[in-house]
Amino acid sequence: MRFKINQIFYLSIMLSCSLHLANAQYYPHKNNTDYREHYRGQFHFSPKSEWMNDINGLVYQGGKYHMIYQWGNKIRHGGYATSLDLLHWEDKGVALIPQKSFLPVEAKRNATGDQVYSGSAVVVSGQTAKKITGSDQEAIIAIYTGTTKGTCLAWSNDGGDIWHDYKGNPVGHLTDYAVPRDPCVFWYEPAK
C-alpha cells in the first residue's frame, strides 16, 4: 500500500507542476525597480529591465489599454504592459516568448519563430475570434514577425493574462522572393 501512496503523491506533484506550466502567464521582469533610477525617463513608459524598442500593439479592451512592445537585448520578445489612463503603466513583463529565448525554462515558449519582431494588435470577437482562438469570445490578437518563420499570430481571450501561440502559424510564409515584415492590420468598416 505504501508504494501506491508514493505513486499518488508523485503523480499529484507532477500534475500540479504541469498544470502550472500549461497555464503560464506572462513572465515578469526580475528587476524590482521603483522607476526612480538616475537617467530613467519619467514621462514615457519604460520596462523594468532590459531594452525596449517600438510599440507593436496598442489596443483598448476590458476597460484598460494593452501595449505589446519589442523587448530584449539580444533576442527580441514581446513585452506587455497595461494602463487605465495611458499615463500610468503597469509593466507586466514578457508576454510573447520566442523559441530561442534567453529566459529560464519556466518561461513558457509561446511565440513562433526564433525572435518576435515588429507587428500590431487588434481586438476581435465573433467569427473572427472563433477562427483564431476556437471561441467567439472577445480576444486580443497580436500580429508579429516571427523570425525564420514569417507573419504570425498570438492571442489572449482573458484580458492579457495568458497568451497563446496560434496553431496555424505562420499565416504569412517566407519565400525566396518575399520576407514579410512588420505586419500592420486595421479595421476596414465597409468590408467588415
Active site residue 54: yes
CA distance 67 to 58: 5
Cβ partners under 8 Å of residue 183, min gap 6: 119, 120, 143, 144, 145, 151, 172
CA distance 187 to 67: 18
Cell 519556466, residue located = 106
CA distance 82 to 160: 9
Q: Which of 54, 165, 176, 182 is catalytic?
A: 54
CA distance 39 to 161: 31
Task: List the catalytic residues.
Answer: 54
